[in-house]
Structure 1
Amino acid sequence: MKGITGKVNSILKFLIVVCLSLMAIFVFTNVILRYAFNSGITWSEEVSRFLFVWMIFLGAILAFNDNEHLGVDIVVKKLSLTGKKVMYLISNIILLITLVFLLEGSWKLTLLNTDLSAPATGMSYAYIYVFGVIMSGSMILIILYKLYRFIIKKDYSQLIMAASEDSIDHHDKDETGDKK
């Protein structure tokens, strides 16, 4: 599965770079046109906004898959192994339920906005909301896979994934251990 996950992560990173690059090109070109020629591309701001939303959703999937979202582990660190297992299951079940609601809501918004078009491009707003469906659906699959590994494969490596303060403080110190 790591091979598939690695390929998906590479594709997500590539798509994020494409979104960011296109946003920069559109915005920069529009700024130059406005200041130098007193005109602009009418659709560039709208497309940049769409790309930004898509980039955020893709980044959320990538961060979720790599356990890079913010997390507070002060309580979990103090628990026994059994307590950590219970907290892991509870938190993932709550997250799974929340993502199911997000999936349902995003799907409803996608259907509601299929006929609503953006003013400058004429692009359907459903293209914005469908990324909520993609993001929540992807995260649901990731959680189900992690729960499978946890329950069936007895892989407990995911119990505490948040970065600790010690590892964060370590980057702020020089060779002598003093703060920079």
Structure 2
Amino acid sequence: MSTLAVISAGLGRPSSTRLLADRLAAATTEALGRDTAVETIELRDHAHAMVDATLTGFPSGPFRAAVETVTNAAGLIAVTPVFNASYSGLFKTFFDVLDRESLEGRPVLLGATGGTERHSLAIDYAMRPLFAYLRAGVVPTAVYAASEDWGSGETALPDRIARAGAELAALMEARPAPAKEDPYENPVPFDQLLAGR
């Protein structure tokens, strides 16, 4: 069974960011049409651990498990609220902790939430460049949800969610599941370590 990792950088509970993340995950699993494990990571729960990992250079405890969930997943949904016309600091800190190669080629669906439609371009001028740097495979359709998208029956949000979920599912189907690498599988023999080779 493949795993779909979902990152929500919302600060509140409940949050529109988490609501959007859940809807994107549901659309993706529906489009996949097979059993898929969905692992949702609320970044607010790991805020202190992310700062510690930034300072020490490596994640530990439950945050390490969250990082491994993301780096071993077949696909990723990443959703952030927009603050000051860009992604949140919490969102950026998580991706600063990851190894640069850890998302290479990974299918990713981007989403963002904000108070007004004015911030919708934050996905294209802030989020896409970040994931291009990480060499992830970002789907063409990203989903931005403003406050008015949640209360109106006239919104195109459900159609955008369905289209983006189908695009992520197609990329996940086309890409083989990542193999888990065991760093201890081929240890250096002790005599070589002592010889300095």
Q: TM-score range by the shorter chain?
A: under 0.3
Which of the pair is proportionally richer in strand? Answer: 2
Higher RCO, 1 vs 2 (CA within 8 Å, ≥6 residues apart):
2
Q: TM-score, normalized by length of structure 1?
A: 0.28
- Higher radius of gyration, 1 or 2: 1
Q: TM-score, normalized by length of structure 2?
A: 0.26
Which of the pair is proportionally richer in helix? Answer: 1
